[in-house]
Amino acid sequence: MLTIVDRLPRSSGFTPSRTEHRLRHIFALIGYWLERDRQRQSLAQIDNHLLADIGLTRDQQSRECVKPFWLP
């Protein structure tokens, strides 16, 4: 007797290890995006004295802070 699993097409090419790898990649990417967004929020709150210490102008700060989280 055939089970439902036996009737599924086998041509998809997905294996659990490839799927797991892709999920890990997606979660890592989301982590990078969240961290980038957090850093830009922190950068937006820096005053002129600290900006000078890290070598940024107010204009550079503004340009960086308005970027979407997915852009480096």
pLDDT digits (tens, 9 = 90+) for 8-52: 566 566 666 888 899 999 999 999 999 999 999 999 999 999 999
pLDDT of residue 63 exceeding 60: yes
The residue assigned the tokens 């009737």 is 7
What does the block give as tokens for 25? 């990649």
Global confidence as pTM: 0.69
C-alpha distance from residue 20 to each of 11, 24, 64 (Å): 18, 6, 34
User: For 3-30, b where at least 16 C-beta lie within 10 A, e where not — what string?
Assistant: eeeeeeeeeeeeeeeeeeeeeeeeeeee
